[in-house]
Structure formats: C-alpha cells, structure tokens
Amino acid sequence: MAQARPAPSQPLYERRPGQATSLVKVGDVVFGGKTVVLIGGPCAVENLDQVLDIAGHVRRSGGAMLRGGAWKPRTSPYSFQGLGAEGLPLLAAARAATGLPVVTEVLDPRDVEQAAGAVDMLQIGSRSIQNFPLLREAGASGKPVLLKRGMMTTVHEWLNAAEYVLAAGCRDLVLCERGIRTFENSLRNTLDVGSVAVLKEVTHLPVIVDPSHAAGASRFVIPLARAAVAAGADGLLVEVHNHPEAALSDADQSLTPEQFSQLAESCRAVARAIGRDLQA
C-alpha cells in the first residue's frame, strides 16, 4: 500500500486547457457549477437536540448541506475530543430530519470505513493534510472527499495531497481554503483568498472556503465569506451553533442562526453580482 504509484502523464488534479470545473455531487448538492454551496453546522456534534436544532436552522437559512464533527482534532489531549463514532448516528438523524447531506471529519484511517457508511462526504482536516495513509484510505472509500488546506501548506503541497486522494480512486474531491498561518495575529489565521483564484486556474477541482476558522471570531466571518464568494469560491463552510457561548469547541467563531441567515443573504447578493447564485 505504501508503494509509489506510476505517475500519469499529467497530474489528475490539473485543469486541461478549456476544461470546465468538475461537478462534484453529494446527494442533491452540486459543487463546481453555477451556484455557490453553503454548508453550515456545529464545530462538534454534542448531542441529538443540539444537532437537530442547528440543522433545522441551517436548512431554513438557505444552507444546502450540514457539517458536524464527530472526531475532533484538538491541540491538547485534555480538551474535548468529540463524541467519536457515537456522533455518527446523530448526524444521520439530522440528515433524516432535514434532508441535508452531511460532511464529517475523519482523523484515523481505521475510522474511515465506519464514517463512510454513515455520512455523505468525508472531510480531511487541516492537521491531516499530509497524513498520507488517511488520504489514501479516504480516497478509496467510495465517498466524496472535502480536503482542507493545512494552515501552513503551500498550494503546491495541497494539490499533491489532493493527488493522493485522486490516485486512490476518488473522483469527487472538493478543496477548502481555511486561512494560513502568518506573522499576523489580529485574526486567528490569514484567509488566502488569492489561493481561490490560483486554484481556479490550475485545477478543475471545485474550491470552497471556510471563513470561520480564518476569522476565529464570529463578527469577522461575514466579510470574509463575502470576499470568498467575490473571489470565485464554489462554496462556504461555516460554523453555526444554537448557543455559541456554550459550545464545547470553537465558541468564539460560531455564528448564531440569525447571523448565519444574514451571511446567506449577503453572500447571495454578492454571488448574483458576479453572475452566480446561492444553491437552493
């Protein structure tokens, strides 16, 4: 499994001259077309009431898809690590209740099969961008994959990580810019909107943006989201919580349902200004 694969004549991620952006379908959701996909949900799945309540809000506010973390990568071993596999049925219940497809992060190659059986799309998080066994496992899972950029990963390395997923068989891959680590500390990370423009030229893969982790504070999420759409992003991945102040993780950066509605409205207007729309 650790063998080098024979290289194709050009990287699988590469956009050929004139090639359109690939359409990646997750249930009824389509990434890479004319419309912008809004994904919302909690950082971590905490309990059934929480995830059902938030999923309902996301649905009503114009979200097309639900995010929610079962396994959480945390800097400290003493922080809340997520519900693990026990979170998966809660996500399935939220999908059943709202019809929204669900994306969740996997951290361990040994969990990929179980997660793939429960959700609609597997997320590879920033800290796993060069976790090659995990990339291969996710790429071979048969599920669409959302690959977040590492916080200090170049576009070149990011595309090579994508190539691991593609080379393992996946054809439904979406990239997600989420801010990079720089010397500037006024926000949690520096959102690299330029990477969206660069990727649009280099790769046929759809590109979405996570403004929540870049901002690190809820009051900065909407301007970053608007900037992402204006730069050409195919979607947004946004943290929403029904009681942000009591969230078990990422409390500061989670939007309230009301703020999420405002974000949707504001980003819909920007999308239309550049000839696109928000996916219904």
| Binding to a copy of itself in span 144-163, by CB under 8 A | 150-157, 160, 163
The residues, any chain, with a CB within 8 Å of residue 92's CB and separated by 6 or more, are: 102, 118, 119
Q: Verify binding: residue 133, a copy of itself, rule CB under 8 A.
A: yes
Nearer CB in complex with a copy of itself: 97/197? 197
Nearer CB in complex with a copy of itself: 111/172? 111
SS3 at position 78: coil
Distance CA 135, CA 154 (A): 17
Q: Verify binding: residue 122, a copy of itself, rule CB under 8 A.
A: no
Q: Which of residues 185-214 bind a copy of itself (CB under 8 A)?
A: 185-187, 190-198, 200-201, 214
Residue 98, φ and ψ in degrees, nearest 5: -115, -20
Closest approach, Cβ 263 to a copy of itself, in A, equals: 12
Helix (H) or strand (E) holding 159: helix 155-167
Q: Verify binding: residue 114, a copy of itself, rule CB under 8 A.
A: no
Show the binding pattern over residues 37-76: x = contacts a copy of itself (CB under 8 A), - = does not. ----------------------------------xxxxxx
Closest approach, Cβ 167 to a copy of itself, in A, equals: 5
What Å distances lie between residue 133 and 73, 137, 139, CA to CA?
Answer: 17, 6, 10
Closest approach, Cβ 116 to a copy of itself, in A, equals: 17
Closest approach, Cβ 15 to a copy of itself, in A, equals: 14
SS3 at position 44: strand
| Max CA distance (Å), the chain | 52
Q: Which of residues 10-39 bind a copy of itself (CB under 8 A)?
A: none
Nearest to 221 by CA among 267, 196, 255, 249: 255
Q: Verify binding: residue 108, a copy of itself, rule CB under 8 A.
A: yes
Given candidates 23, 48, 246, 274, which one binds a copy of itself under the rule CB under 8 A?
A: 274
Radius of gyration of the chain (CA): 17
- Cross-strand partners of 104: 122
